[in-house]
Amino acid sequence: MFHRPTKTIYSGLIFFIFAALNLAYAQAPRVPQTIRFADMTLQLNNQAQRDIQLDVDALHRNPSYFKTKMERVDLYMPIIERVLREQGVPDDLKYLVIQESGLIADAVSSSNAVGFWQFKKGTAHEVFLQVDNQIDERKNIVASTKGAAIYLKKNNSRFDNWVCAMVAYQMGLGGAQNYFGSQYNGQKTMKITRNTHWYFKKYLAHKIAFESQLGKFVSNQHLEVVEVQGPVSLPQLAKNLNVSTSHLEAYNKWVSRKKIPGGKTYSLTYLPTGAPSYKPVLTSSGDPTTTTSIPNVAGTNRAGYPKITGKQSLPFEKNQIKINGIKGIIAAVNTTSEDFAERIGIRDGKFRRVNDLSKSDPVVKGQYYYTKRKKGKAKTPYHVVRKGETLWKISQAYGIRLHSLKAKNRLYKDEDLREGMVLKLQKYRRRNEPFEYQQVKPSFTKKSADKPIPSPTPTETVEKAPMEQTPQKTLTHKVVKGETLYAIARKYGVTVSQIQQWNNITNQSVIHVDQELIIRRD
C-alpha cells in the first residue's frame, strides 16, 4: 500500500539536501604535486603545496560566501570560455577572472583598476576597450574578456610561457621581463616552489578551489548575449527582451545613463527569465537601490552605508577593501579581538581603539571592522534610528568615532535611542535642542512600545533632516508557489530592490511560500 510522505520526512529531506550542498562547498580540495596548466606541466614541492593550500582553504572557509561566488562563476563562465576559445587563449586562464574581481562587474581596486578583468584606463585603451562618460567596457563581460585575451596573448608572445604571461598580467610586461629574464622562455615544465611569484600561486589556488565545483550545481538560468547597435535606450531594449529596465542595468553596468550610443556594436547580457537567481553585482557606487554579495551586516543603513570600495572579491583579507573610505576588513569567523588582530597583523590595542571595542567585545563573523582610525564626522549629515540599533552599530556603519557620535548628539546611552530619532553625523546638536523624528520605513510592522515623543514647538528653530515620503498605501502580498521577487515587483509596478528594502531581504532566494511581503504603493 502506498503511503504519502509526511511533512516531517519532507522537512528532513530538504534539510539533508541543504546540508549536503553546504558540505560540498565547505570541503576544500587538496593541492596535488603535479598540475596541468594550459600547455604546461607544473611540479609543486611541499612548501608550495602548503602555501597554495592555505589560500584554497581560505576560499572555502565561508560556505555561503563561496556558494554566492560559485553562482556567479556558473553564470558567467560559459561566456568567458567561448570568448577565450575564439581568441585562442587556453581554457585554464578563465580562473584568473575570479582572482581579479570575483566576477563583480564594477569592482574597483585600490589602484583604480576597474571591472571583471581589472583594467586601468590606459591599459583598457591599449586593448581596444571603450572607456568614456558613456560606456565603460571594462564592466562588459564579453568586451573585457576579449581585452584580457589580447593582453595575455601579447605577454605570451614574448615568453612562450603562460606562467610568465600571467605574472606579466599583474606586473606589466616590462616588469615581468626584468623578473624572469629569459630563463623560462618556451619551457613546458616548471617547478613551483615557495619562491614562485605570489600572484601565480594565488591563481593556482583559485583554479584548484573552483575547478572541481564548476558546473556542479547548475541552475536552470543562463545569461544570453545579444549584439546591439546604437543609438538605443535600455528601456527600449528591455521592452523588446521582455525584461525590466532595472534588470538590464544590473547586468550591464557598462552603460551610463541608460543609453547606448551609436557607431559601434556592443554585447548586451540578460537572463531570459528576467529573474536573477542571485544578486548579480557588488556595487562600489553607493547607490542605495543596489545590492551586494558580501555578507549582510547588522547596522547597515538603508541610505547606502557603509559604502564599500576596493577589491570586494577579497573582503576577508587585510588592505583589500575600504569602508566609507577607510581601510577595513570583514571578519570571516567569530573570534576574540586579540586573535583577530594578530591574524591581520595589527596590535590588539590599536584594533580595539579604532573600532571602539572593549576587551570583552567579541569579533563577530560577517561584521565590518576598520583597520585605520575612523573620522570625526560622516559623509552624510543624518541617520534615522531603527529599532534594535546601538550607538556603536551606527558609528561603525558610517565610519564615525563613537565618542564623536555621542558628543554631536549629546546622547551617551543606548537606552536613550528611540526609533525614528534623527541623529546628526556632521554638526553638533545645540544645548536644549530637541530631537527631530521621522517615520521609519515600514519593514518594522510592530509599533514601538515607547512613550510618545514630544515634537518641537513651532517657535523652536530646529535643523530638519530631509523627510522621507510617506506612502499613501501599504499592501501585504502572500507569496504563492513558483513566484519570484521579479514577478511580484512587476505585478505591483515596483522594483526588486524596493521589495528587498521594505522587507529586509538580503538574498533573493530566501522568499518562501506563504511569506507575507510588505508592498508600498504611492
Q: What is the pLDDT of residues 314-357, one digit of tens each?
A: 677 788 888 889 999 888 778 888 888 888 888 989 999 999 99
450 pLDDT tier (thresholds 50, 70, 90): very low
Cell digits of residue 412: 551617551
Q: Which of 20-24, 43-47, 82-86, 247-251 has the lowest mean pLDDT?
A: 20-24
For residues 30 and 55, give the distance between their C-alpha atoms in angstroms, rounded to a whole number: 11
φ and ψ of 219, to 5 deg? -85, 175
Task: Please state whether 287 falls in left (phi above 0), alpha (psi between -120 and 50) or beta.
Answer: beta
Query: DSSP string covering 170-211, please?
Result: HH-HHHHHHHHTTTTTT-SEEEE-TTS-HHHHHHHHHHHHHH
Bigger pLDDT: 159 or 499?
A: 159
DSSP 135: B
CB count in 10 Å sphere of residue 227:
9
Q: Which residue is associated with the grid cell 574597483?
A: 108
Angstrom distances, CA of residue 322 to CA of 297, 306, 388, 446 = 15, 10, 26, 35
3-state secondary structure at position 372:
coil
d(CA 366, CA 499): 23
Place of cell 562587474: 105
CA distances from 84 to 127, 144, 264, 271, 510 (A): 15, 11, 22, 22, 35
Task: Of 194, 186, 146, give the one whose Cα is nearest residue 165.
Answer: 186
Report the predicted TM-score, pTM, of the whole model to 2 decimal places. Answer: 0.52
Residue 449 has pLDDT above 50, yes or no: no
**Interatomic CA distance for residues 427 and 463, integer angstroms:** 10
Helix axes 141-159, 173-180, angle to 10 degrees: 30
Give the CATH class of 224-270.
alpha beta
The CATH number corresponding to 375-467 among 2.20.28.90, 3.90.1150.10, 3.40.50.720, 3.10.350.10 equals 3.10.350.10
As annotated, the residues of the chain forming the CATH 1.10.530.10 domain(s) are 8-211
Q: Which three cell numbers stand for residue 255?
A: 552603460
Domain spanning 473-521: which superfamily? LysM domain (3.10.350.10)
Please give the C-alpha separations between residue 466 and each of 21, 53, 438, in angstroms, as whole numbers: 46, 52, 9
In the chain, the largest separation of any two C-alpha atoms, in whole Å, equals: 83
Q: Give the CATH number of domain 8-211.
A: 1.10.530.10
Which of the residue ranges 186-195, 254-263, 456-465 would you say has the lowest mean pLDDT?
A: 456-465
Determine phi and psi for 101, rounding to 5 degrees: -135, -5
In the three-class reduction of DSSP (H, G, I as helix; E, B as strand; rest coil), residue 414 is classed as helix
pLDDT at 352: 92
Q: Could you tell me if 301 and 264 are in contact, meaning their C-beta atoms sit under 8 angstroms apart?
A: no
Q: Checking DSSP bridges between strand 40-44 and strand 189-192, what pairing results, if any?
A: parallel
Measured between alpha carbons, how far is 144 from 421 in angstroms, rounded to an integer? 46
DSSP three-state, residue 466: coil
Angle at 261 between CA 257 and CA 263, to 5 degrees: 165
pLDDT 10s digits, 69-78: 888 998 899 9
- The residue-averaged pLDDT of 487-513 equals 68
**Closest by CA position to 52, among listed 210, 214, 198:** 198
Q: Lowest mean pLDDT of 23-32, 40-49, 241-250, 443-452, name the range.
A: 443-452
